[in-house]
């Protein structure tokens, strides 16, 4: 692995091979951090150390982080792994939604549990990259929304539990972001979607347009870096003024009205 002790601060990024995670790797190595990426695919930047592990495999992240903490005091853990699937709730396969939760939620929990013991000695930062979709449901991507809602609540709970030990936890919530994640989404076929097929297709197309017209992953990564740099980081950080206003709007307006506006976004 080539991990040698040095005086640089060490950040562990889970999911740093592409998208927001990759851009976060770049932001940190450009600012003299020692960056270790954990993912199935290597981060292509030669300054980043890679460990191959699958977030969906129970115990894989824990073993990788234990190996790191034996050689480095970890100053920051950033969890940016994610998986998305477009399917009706009625026909969704258990193997798919369990895999989704393994990657989006349980992987984050395992990574946190692995890094907390070493951070309790010297403090540290944990950033969980969630989604505005955890506040406002994404039509026919309900399992993704549910997993990100769980991740946001984990961030809130961990903030209170770990702050006495000098560990600051923040949930960073992007809205639509223009990455290849859009094209990696598992979309069920018309045969699998059955009577929902036309609605699913409209929702997937609307979601793709929103993502590809959204923030750049570099802009989100800059927000992640800013959170790491803050002396008193927030519990939750929304990415972008427009997303911040939309989230506030959703919280002060009646639930059914908010859901109606949200449905229109996905042409439902």
Residue with tokens 């290597």: 42
Residue with tokens 């406002």: 136
Closest CA to 175 of 85, 259, 242: 242
Burial class (CB in 10 A: 0-12, 13-18, 19+), 121: exposed
pLDDT tens by residue, 111-145: 999 999 999 989 999 999 999 999 989 999 999 99
The DSSP H or E segment spanning 75 is strand 74-79
3-state secondary structure 5-73: CCCCCEEEEECCCCHHHHHHHHHHHCCCCEEEEEECCCCCCCCCEEEECCCCCCCHHHHHHHHHHCCCC
The CA distance from 26 to 21, in Å, is 9
- Please tell me the pTM assigned to this model: 0.93
Q: Look at the domain 10-265 and name its fold.
A: Rossmann fold (3.40.50)
Q: What separation in angstroms does the CA of 214 have from each of 11, 22, 88, 176, 263?
A: 27, 17, 25, 5, 18
Residues linked to residue 170 through DSSP beta bridges, in sequence order:
127
- Mean pLDDT value of segment 210-232: 96
Average pLDDT, rounded, for the chain: 94
Closest CA to 79 of 196, 158, 171, 178: 171
Closest CA to 48 of 69, 18, 73, 75: 18
Q: 258 pLDDT band (50/70/90 cuts)?
A: confident
What radius of gyration, in Å, describes the C-alpha atoms of the chain? 18
Residues linked to residue 167 through DSSP beta bridges, in sequence order:
124
pLDDT of residue 111: 98
Closest CA to 86 of 181, 185, 213, 211: 185
pLDDT tens by residue, 63-113: 999 999 999 899 999 999 999 999 999 999 999 999 999 999 999 999 999
Contacts of 7 (CB under 8 A, 6+ apart): none
Alpha helices (runs of H) in the chain, residue ranges in sequence order: 19-29, 60-69, 94-101, 107-122, 142-162, 181-184, 190-193, 197-212, 217-229, 241-252, 255-265
């Amino acid at each position: 692995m080539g991990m040698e002790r040095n005086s640089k601060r060490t950040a562990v990024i889970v999911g740093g091979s592409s998208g927001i995670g990759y851009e976060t790797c770049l932001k940190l190595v450009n600012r003299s951090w020692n960056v270790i990426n954990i993912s199935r695919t290597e981060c292509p930047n030669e300054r980043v150390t890679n460990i191959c592990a699958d977030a969906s495999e129970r115990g894989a992240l824990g073993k990788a982080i234990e190996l790191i903490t034996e050689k480095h005091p970890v100053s920051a853990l950033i969890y940016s792994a994610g998986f998305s699937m477009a399917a009706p709730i009625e026909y969704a396969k258990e193997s798919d939604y369990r895999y989704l939760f393994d990657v989006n939620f349980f992987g984050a929990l395992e990574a946190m549990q692995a890094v907390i013991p070493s951070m309790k000695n010297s403090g540290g930062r944990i950033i969980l990259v969630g989604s505005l979709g955890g506040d406002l449901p994404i039509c026919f991507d309900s399992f993704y929304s549910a997993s990100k809602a769980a991740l946001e609540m984990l961030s809130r709970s961990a903030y209170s539990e770990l702050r006495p030990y000098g560990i600051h936890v923040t949930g960073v919530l992007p809205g639509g972001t223009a990455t290849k994640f859009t094209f990696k989404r598992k979309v069920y076929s018309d045969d699998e979607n059955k009577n929902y097929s036309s609605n699913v297709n409209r929702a997937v197309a609307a979601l793709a347009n929103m993502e590809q017209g959204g923030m750049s992953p570099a802009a989100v990564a800059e927000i992640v870096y800013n959170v790491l740099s803050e002396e008193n980081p927030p519990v939750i950080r929304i990415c972008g003024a427009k997303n911040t206003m939309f989230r506030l709007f959703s919280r002060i307006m009646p639930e059914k009205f908010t859901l109606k506006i949200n449905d229109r976004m996905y042409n439902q």
